[in-house]
Structure 1
């Protein structure tokens, strides 16, 4: 036996293709959040996932299709979480409960799945136009949902303008959770959102 041992690359165990694709997309989103979009490459993704380039190419035909699949997946995840947090209807006599439950649910989602929300709420320089377009389109869908909800509890109000204000407040506090989760706990954020939104959405009496 030779005194020199030939080193080989770690072998990537065979896994179902869908599981492998999820692993590769998870690696890609970690790179985006940590290093930015301009650092994403097949080599970087393979290294992050602990596999070889051929394994990545076996799951996706190239970087373009991979990033498109990632964008689709993250869009579905984000919208599902948001719509789960926003009720279809609410009791106009108990707006505090609406705010409390919605904000608490959103804070929990941000804490449990920051990798989905960081590229959306903390999108910085270098974010591709295609990603920004998706974010803007989804924001409009959510804003419409919020406007419909406002109409149900505050008939006759300017729900379009109020929806812009509500979404801006929620996005701002969402960024605080992502940037400093230990400092901004759920109770503190619920109280803060209440103090900001109460004058906007509570009927004058």
Structure 2
């Protein structure tokens, strides 16, 4: 519900959250390894990772719009703005120049920049408009436009915020059904920060 509320407060769609999930019996950072896509993944790797959780490529593209709000550490895109041979030519040159200012060589790894430099505090379809002009911050974002297999979907959502919102709600609802615990697999925590 916190995710839904944060999205709605940032101007995104509000949607019904399916309730009744049990909390897991264990929680560790190691359990996340291999389940989140690094910014270096190509379209096939992204599609396979999401498909492993019952999500389609369209779902993955819709959920990627979460990058319309939030931040990324300079190190996650440093190779795109000052690669070993040349900067990434799929990145908008003006954006790359700004990023080199904001993230100079040797910058503190804790420094982060907004992922959407146009509407950084608004959950909207600007993410897809940014991709169309080379302003995807992460390589895994920009490839959604540069790969001809995913480009038609990216081109569709800047035209209609309603179509994007419907696709996003459908995808995040499906994501909420991943790994649902039942019976002895989980419990209801009395304190969210502590296992019973």
TM range (shorter): under 0.3
From the CA coordinates, give the structure whose radius of gyration is larger: 1
The TM-score, its normalising length taken from structure 1, stands at 0.24
Higher RCO (Cα < 8 Å, 6 or more apart): 2
The two structures have a TM-score, normalised by structure 2, of: 0.25
Structure with more of its chain in helix, by fraction: 1
Which one has a larger percent strand, Structure 1 or Structure 2? 2
